[in-house]
Amino acid sequence: MDFAAITLWFLLEKVILIAAIIGLSFFVAMYTTLAERKVAGWMQDRMGPNRAGPFGILQPLADGGKLFFKEEIIPVTSNRILFLLGPALAMIVALVTSTVIPWGAPVVTTTGTIALQVTDVDMGILIVFSVVSVGVYGIMIGGWASNNKFSLLAAIRGASQMVSYELPMSLALIAILFMTGSLKMSEIVLYQINHGWNIVYQPLGFLLFFICALAECNRTPFDLPEAENELNFGYHQEYSSMKLGFYLFAEYINMFVSSAVMATLFLGGYDIPFVNEAAWGLSPWVYSLLSFGVLMAKVSFLLFVFIWIRWTIPRFRYDQLMNLGWKKMIPLALFNMLLSAAILLWLKS
C-alpha cells in the first residue's frame, strides 16, 4: 500500500468515525453510571439522585468533576511508572474493543459506501477476544505497582477470574461461528438478517456468553474485585482521584462494549426484527441512523439487565465462582459446541 492510496477523504472518514465511537463510549458509560443509581433507587423504592439538573441528568458531570478535584495520592512505596500505566492500560483496552463492531447499516450513497465500522477485518470477533485477553494487564499491573498485599491479592483474584471465564466465552462463540461460517462481524450480522437471530438457535450459548460477560466486566454476582465490605476493596485500593475514576469508568465502557458485542453476535446487530427494513426505500442516511438506533436500543436493554442483576443477586464466594466457571460453565459450553456441530452436520448431510 502506498501513501497515495490513502486519500484525505478516507482519513477524514476514519478519524470522524473513531472520534464518534470514543465519544459515544464515554457518553453511554457516563449515563450508565446514572442509570445504575436510578435503577437502584427504583428497585429499592427511593428516588435516586435527583439534585443535579432536572431528574438528576447532570449527576455524571458532577461525579466526574468531584473525581478530578479530589486529592491525588501516589503511595511513596509504589512503583510510580507502573502505577500510572495500570489505569491507562485499563482505559485503552476498554476503548479499543469497539473498533470492529458494526454500529449500523452501511451508508450507500452515489459516491460510495461508508461503513459505520472502523475496520471490517477477516478476524473480526477474534480481535475483540485478543483485546479482552490483554485487558487483564491493567488490573495486574495496577495491583502489583501499588505495593500493597491486599491490592496484589485482589489483582490476582480479579485476573484469575477473567482468565477462567474467557474459556467458556470462546467456547460459546465457537458454536456461533459454526453457524455463520465467518469471523467477520459484518457477515455475522448479515447472516442473522437472512436466517434469523442467533439467540433463537443458540439460547444456551447466549446464556453462557452473557454470564461470562458479567464475569469479564467484574459485575455482580462476580464483582469480587470490588467487594469493599468483605474483601477490603480490590486491586484499586491505593488509587484515588481520577486514576480510580479511570478504573471504574473503564468498567462501564467494558459493559457498554460487551453489550454491543452480545447484541451483534446474538441479537441480530442492527437488524429490526420481523420486518424487512431494507425494502422500505428509506434514504440511505435515514436507514443507517434507524439501524444505529435499533442497535442502541438492544444495547440499552442489555445494560439494563446488567444493572437489574446487580441489584437483585448477592455476590458469589470465590470458590463458588471458580467452581461455577470450571466445573459447570466449561462442560456446558463444550456440550453446546458438540451439540451444535452434530446438528449442523446432520442438517448438511
| Burial class of residue 171 (count of CB atoms within 10 Å of its CB; 0-12, 13-18, 19+) | buried
Asked if 84 touches other proteins (CB under 8 A), the answer is no
d(CA 297, CA 182): 25
Could you tell me the smallest distance in angstroms from the CB atom of residue 160 to other proteins? Answer: 8
Could you tell me the smallest distance in angstroms from the CB atom of residue 140 to other proteins? Answer: 5
Q: Which stretch binds other proteins (CB under 8 A): 156-164, 209-217, 227-235, 306-314?
A: 156-164
E runs forming strands in the chain: 107-108, 113-114
Q: Please select the residue that binds other proteins; options are 12, 108, 163, 200, rule is CB under 8 A.
A: 163
Q: How many CB atoms lie within 10 A of CB 81?
A: 10
d(CA 131, CA 45): 39
Could you tell me the smallest distance in angstroms from the CB atom of residue 22 to other proteins? Answer: 21
And the C-alpha cell for 259? 453489550
Contacts by 109-118 with C-beta closer than 8 Å and gap 24+? 109/284, 114/13, 115/186, 116/17, 116/288, 116/292, 117/17, 117/185, 117/186, 118/14, 118/17, 118/18, 118/21
Q: Which stretch binds other proteins (CB under 8 A): 12-20, 100-108, 155-163, 200-208?
A: 155-163
Q: Which stretch binds other proteins (CB under 8 A): 50-58, 109-117, 120-128, 274-282?
A: 120-128
Could you tell me the smallest distance in angstroms from the CB atom of residue 293 to other proteins? Answer: 31
> Omega before 102 cis (within 30°)?
no
Could you tell me the smallest distance in angstroms from the CB atom of residue 77 to other proteins? Answer: 12
Report the half-sphere exposure of 38 (CA within 13 A, side-chain side): 16
> Are 169 and 266 in contact, with CB atoms under 8 Å apart?
no
Asked if 45 touches other proteins (CB under 8 A), the answer is no
Could you say which residues in the range 299-328 bind other proteins, by CB under 8 A? none
Residues 6+ apart with CB under 8 A from 175: 202, 205, 336, 337, 340, 341
Could you tell me the smallest distance in angstroms from the CB atom of residue 127 to other proteins? Answer: 6
Maximum Cα interatomic distance, the chain, rounded to a whole number of Å: 67
Asked if 334 touches other proteins (CB under 8 A), the answer is no
Asked if 76 touches other proteins (CB under 8 A), the answer is no
Q: Please select the residue that binds other proteins; options are 40, 43, 126, 272, rule is CB under 8 A.
A: 126
Q: Please select the residue that binds other proteins; options are 108, 122, 195, 293, rule is CB under 8 A.
A: 122
And the C-alpha cell for 26? 464515554
Nearest to 215 by CA among 55, 330, 104: 330
And the C-alpha cell for 271? 437488524
Could you say which residues in the range 224-253 bind other proteins, by CB under 8 A? none
And the C-alpha cell for 157? 483474584
Asked if 140 touches other proteins (CB under 8 A), the answer is yes
Site string for other proteins, 7-36 (x = CB under 8 A): ------------------------------
Q: Which stretch binds other proteins (CB under 8 A): 119-127, 203-211, 217-225, 235-243?
A: 119-127
The residue type at 60: P
Asked if 331 touches other proteins (CB under 8 A), the answer is no
CB nearer to other proteins: give 79 or 232.
79
Q: Which stretch binds other proteins (CB under 8 A): 26-34, 133-141, 308-316, 330-338?
A: 133-141
Q: Please select the residue that binds other proteins; options are 21, 94, 105, 127, rule is CB under 8 A.
A: 127
Q: Please select the residue that binds other proteins; options are 24, 115, 156, 272, rule is CB under 8 A.
A: 156
Contacts to other proteins by CB under 8 A:
1-3, 6, 79, 82, 121-123, 126-127, 129-130, 133-134, 136-137, 140-141, 144, 152, 155-156, 159-160, 163, 183
